[in-house]
Amino acid sequence: MIEYVVSTNMDDRILVRAIQLLEDGGLLALPTDTSWSLVCSLKSRKGIKKLKSLSGERDERHFTLLCSNISQFGELCSLDNTRFRLIKRLSPGPYVFILKTLLGTEKALDIRRREVGVRLPDHPLPLHLIKNLGQPLYSITAKRSMAAGNRVSGEAGSSAGEDKSELPPIPEEDLFEGGWELEDIGGLDLILDGGEERERIFSTILDLSGDEARLLRQGAGPWPV
């Protein structure tokens, strides 16, 4: 289940296997510049359904599109010059930006909101995987509460239609450090482990869907800057 890789130079055989799993609707775990993430292919309805089911989250703001460059943001979301300049200043880094979606993005992701979170992580492994897959990854932060025996039906997320103005911080004890710890999460097809332990930190979420940037969750990225 775990493949140990060199983050800056992934073995081609492992890369091909990871891409095939994603294209077939599989779920992968990988490190980012914050904590560990669970990911699936943006183009796989099967993968998106599995990721949502595994996470237990109903609030779609917990999910993020991981991209390899800012131009991918513009292919999925509305991005004017003002927002582009702010995102460029903070990326790559530990920030999620909530943007209004373009026509078709909600349908592709099977979401009810007209906004989606996008992020450019400062870590070579997800960037390399996204570039070779040729499309963004749909992701959520990996949490211990997702592991077998820890999940309680209906426990995670907010109720349908609930729209709280802010998202609560993720408790440090609910995050992972080493890749081997994620083996307790059922439903994962592959864990890509670069061998480094991750800090138990989470990203800062900025809502850019309105006229002004609004902080939804303070995380590793400082705000205001």
* pLDDT one-digit tens code per residue, 126-167: 999 999 999 999 999 999 999 876 765 444 444 344 456 789
Q: What's the full length of the chain, in residues? A: 225
- C-alpha closest to that of 28 among 3, 9, 57: 3
* pLDDT at 110 > cutoff 80: no
The pair of structure tokens assigned to 13 is: 């055989």
Structure token pair of residue 180:
């081997």
Q: What is the pLDDT of residues 45-94, one digit of tens each?
A: 999 999 999 998 878 888 999 999 999 999 899 999 999 999 999 999 99
Topology adopted by domain 2-153+165-217? DHBP synthase (3.90.870)
With contact defined as beta carbons under 8 Å apart, do 185 and 175 qualify? no
- My answer on whether omega of the bond before 224 falls inside 30° of 0, hence cis, is yes
3-state DSSP percent of the chain in helix, strand and coil, to 5? 30, 20, 50
Kindly give the pairing relationship between strand 64-66 and strand 137-141: antiparallel
Written as six digits, the tokens of 30 are 């990988």
Q: Token pair for residue 39?
A: 């990911």
pTM: 0.91
